[in-house]
A and B are shown apart, each in its own frame.
Chain A
Amino acid sequence: MSKQRILCPECQAPLNIDASLPAGKKIKCPKCQAIFPLGEPISQAVSAEPMAVAVAAEAEDEDDRDADDDRPARRRAGPREKQGIGAGMTITLIAASLLVAGGLAVGTYFLVKSLIPSDAGAGDQAAAGQPAAPQKWQPTGLLAKGMPPQLTPPKDKQNVNPIQPNAGPQIGQVAPEIVAEDLDGQTFKLSDYRGKVVLLDFWGNW
């Protein structure tokens, strides 16, 4: 792809551009950011005074259009954005404060609500002439209904593969007796080997 060299009409910086670009194509100078339409090939554009003037005039047109559309908008946008940010921040802060305050209020309401009924109950008892029992916080709702009466598993589930790593016979303890069948169905006991050193090998063929 061939290149042509032109000079920026604004800052006179030499620019290498694609030679296949048609005349009139708008170019933005990377140096001074000026936008101008591409003129005739460089030799004429630079040497021919009228053409240079024409290019300059078109560039001014471009500037005018810019002035109409783009730049004032940008100028306007600046302050407006700042105002927007300021106002937005304020609104956000107020909203956040309201949320926090609301959350605290709701939380306090439920906390108080969970405490008050037992107080009221105690008050009723006192009014009925019974001694007021010591105040205790009672779980209410899901906590009270969902809790199983005990945390220990049912008896038939106990001692099946306990998870505690240190459970079971410990070093220094006498080995618990084992009475079980061997692989041929003959029952024997671990204590049959008392008097010998025993390597008890829990194994499986998998």
Chain B
Amino acid sequence: MYPHERSLVKKMEGKPFALIGVNSDRDREQLRPTLAKEQITWRSFWNGAGGTNGPISSAWSVTGWPTLYLIDQKGVIRRRWTGSPGEALDREIETLVNEIAASE
């Protein structure tokens, strides 16, 4: 998933798009080398020391990882995927970003 996320962030640079993570690792310190190695530059909420039982994933009823929510510029949830969505992800994001351009 990391390479896809990296390419997505790069492709959408300068456009009204943000990749926001919710990280469910229990230990943030152990994660640091991975952030550097995988060039994870996008910001993530931390789900807390409870890991996958943390408050954010519980509030969102996420029980599988990765789970992705696509939220439009008004804050409305438009799509949800559990597992890697593949190319469909890029298409859906571009569609929503183009909606913003059309509404302006």
Whether both chains belong to one complex is answered with yes
Chain B facing A: main interface SS: mixed
How many of B's residues come within 8 Å of A, CB to CB? 56
- Whether A198 and B18, one on each chain, are in contact in the complex, defined by CB atoms closer than 8 angstroms, is yes
Using known A-B contacts A169-B77, A181-B45, A182-B43, determine if residue A197 contacts B59 with beta carbons closer than 8 Å. Answer: no
Chain A facing B: main interface SS: loop
Given contact pairs A197-B17, A199-B17, a sample of 7 additional A-B residue pairs in the complex whose CB atoms are under 8 Å apart: A181-B46, A196-B17, A197-B70, A197-B72, A199-B20, A201-B44, A202-B22
The CA of A37 and the CA of B40, in the complex, are separated in Å by: 95
- Whether A197 and B16, one on each chain, are in contact in the complex, defined by CB atoms closer than 8 angstroms, is yes
Query: Would you list which residues of chain A between 110 and 141 have a CB under 8 Å from chain B?
Result: none
Chain B residue nearest in CB terms to A177 = B75
Chain B residue nearest in CB terms to A174 = B75
- Whether A199 and B18, one on each chain, are in contact in the complex, defined by CB atoms closer than 8 angstroms, is yes
Q: Does A180 contact B (CB under 8 A)?
A: yes
Q: B43 CB to closest chain A CB, in angstroms?
A: 5
A residues lining the B interface (CB < 8 Å): 159-165, 167-176, 178, 180-183, 188, 190-191, 193-206
Q: B64 CB to closest chain A CB, in angstroms?
A: 8
The CA of A182 and the CA of B56, in the complex, are separated in Å by: 12
The CA of A198 and the CA of B73, in the complex, are separated in Å by: 7
What total count of A-B pairs have CB within 8 Å? Answer: 157
B3-46 CB contact bits vs A (8 Å, 1 = yes)? Answer: 00100100000001111111111001001001100000001111
- Of A168, A171, A183, A188, the residue contacting B31 (CB under 8 A) is A183
- Of B16, B18, B51, B65, the residue contacting A203 (CB under 8 A) is B65
13 residue pairs of the A-B complex, CB under 8 angstroms, read A164-B61, A169-B60, A169-B69, A172-B78, A175-B69, A181-B46, A182-B44, A190-B20, A199-B71, A199-B89, A200-B68, A201-B66, A203-B21
- Whether A194 and B75, one on each chain, are in contact in the complex, defined by CB atoms closer than 8 angstroms, is yes
Using known A-B contacts A180-B45, A183-B31, A197-B97, determine if residue A202 contacts B57 with beta carbons closer than 8 Å. Answer: yes
Q: A172 CB to closest chain B CB, in angstroms?
A: 7
The CA of A3 and the CA of B29, in the complex, are separated in Å by: 87
Q: B19 CB to closest chain A CB, in angstroms?
A: 5
